Amino acid sequence: MRGLAITFVLIVAASAGWAAAPGPNHLPGYKAEASEPILPSASIAKASHFLETVSLKWTRQNKCGTCHTNLAHIMAEPFLVERDAGTEKEIRDSLFEFLASYNPGEVPPEQKRANNNILWNRLIIAGTFAMSDGEAGLRQDPRTLARFDQIWAMQSPDGSFNYPRKALPFLEDDAHYVMAMVSVAAGYLPAEYLKTPAAAAGFKKLNHYLAVTPARDQHGELVLMRASLKAPELMSQAKKAELIDRTLALQRPDGGWAVASLGNWPREGGGPNDKNGPADGYGTGFVLYTLCKSGVPTATPAIQKGIAWLKAHQRESGRWFTASLWSSDSHNYVSTIGTAYAVMVLRQCDKAS
């Protein structure tokens, strides 16, 4: 069992049949729906079960990385309980094998993938592992460092990345947000690695680009504030205080936040999202985790009210529901990431200070 700064219970695969061989839609309520019943009381174990199981299901069926399943699980992995070591290793190895499939010489020719999405995959997958292992207090996986070497080599002279823009918020449609998340991730890398010529130059150029290029929306500003913990040049103390006040002002009367209030994401049909809609799992979890990591005391009444909202809105599957910003047909994408953030909040920020 890997050593963690966070105490957790390890259950081996032999005693966790649900993690060993999940079938299609094996979880009751696998598809995120607004009508899914609320749990009588919040359960980190049930959320952990949900994240680990859907992550393994996606990994085995699709053998790739995606932000709405296995990467959300990896992000929250240090905070999960009743974890299965075999499952975690399988998911981790599969993601690194997926990245290797883009590189000549690392896989047989018949297994090599086209390079159309290699930058996206390296940024997101390597960044997620860097954050996860950093939060867990673990030595960074050498495979993560190797992929960051490749990331710096693909960087544009101005410090940005030629990111292929697609449609889905946030990882597909907001390059600035992705680059800010990479800065957050790089801040977890070992100091000795960040002193190497390529990493030092790459990290400096990336942060310069982020410092002179405005975030697209408040959602992006919040990620930038988190990145500024390791790169203070990204946001002044006055700007942080103003952003925190502006974010707290968006809290709903019931204690939660709505993700749609943080940006301007058009829906698939071109219409707007309702900025004044009800609180949701992603909005609440993302905001609380960012504020908590950025030094807002967890004893602050607004933070405690938000935590109470999370405890009162977990669904029977273990997830926290968030309506899609893109389509009314599927809400899994943002609900699963929101579930990861909710777990991280309840494990790291649910205490007075």
What is the model's pLDDT at position 5? 31
Percent of the chain whose pLDDT exceeds 90: 69
pLDDT tier, 280 (very low <50, low <70, confident <90, very high otherwise): very high
Contact 310, 285 (CB under 8 A): yes
Taking only Cα atoms into account, the Rg of the chain, rounded to an integer number of angstroms, comes to 19
Question: What is the pTM (predicted TM-score) of this model?
Answer: 0.89
* Helix or strand holding residue 136 (H, E): helix 127-136
For residue 105, what pLDDT is reported? 67
Q: Which residue has the tokens 């963690």?
A: 4
Q: In this predicted structure, what is the pLDDT of residue 207?
A: 98
Contact 26, 53 (CB under 8 A): yes
* C-alpha dihedral sign at 39, 43, 45, 47: positive
Mean pLDDT calculated for residue range 140-157:
95
Give the model confidence (pLDDT) of 136-147 as tens digits.
999 999 999 999
Is the predicted pLDDT of residue 200 greater than 90, yes or no? yes
Dump pLDDT digits (tens) for 295-311: 999 999 999 999 999 99
Question: Where residue 2 falls among pLDDT bands split at 50, 70, 90?
Answer: very low
Q: 3-class DSSP state for residue 163?
A: coil
In 56-160 the beta strands, taken as DSSP E runs, fall at none
DSSP helix/strand/coil, 348: helix
Question: For the ranges 46-50, 115-119, 254-258, which has the lowest average pLDDT?
Answer: 115-119
Looking at 139-216, list the stretches that DSSP marks H as alpha helix, in order from N- to C-terminal side: 142-153, 175-186, 191-194, 197-212
**Would you call 63 helix, strand, or coil by DSSP?**
coil
Read off the pLDDT band of 23 (50, 70, 90): very low
Domain 40-348: give its CATH code: 1.50.10.20
Beta bridge partners of 10: 83
Q: What is the mean pLDDT of residues 275-303?
A: 97
- Least confident stretch, 2-16, 128-142, 166-180: 2-16
176 confidence band (pLDDT: 50, 70, 90): very high
d(CA 239, CA 245): 10
The residue extents of the domains of the chain are: 40-348
Q: What is the mean pLDDT of residues 257-286?
A: 94
The band of 339, judged by pLDDT with boundaries at 50, 70 and 90, is very high
For residue 56 the two structure tokens come to 């393994």
Length of the chain (residues): 353
Taking alpha carbons only, the member of 293, 292, 318 closest to residue 81 is: 318
Task: Give the residue among 273, 276, 259, 256 at the shortest CA–CA distance from 327.
Answer: 273
Task: For residue 257, give the nearest of 244, 238, 272 by alpha carbon.
Answer: 244
Nearest 5°: CA angle at 273, between 234 and 178?
A: 30
Nearest to 77 by CA among 100, 97, 99, 47: 47
pLDDT at 194: 98
Helix (H) or strand (E) holding 165: none
Q: Are 63 and 100 in contact (CB under 8 A)?
A: no
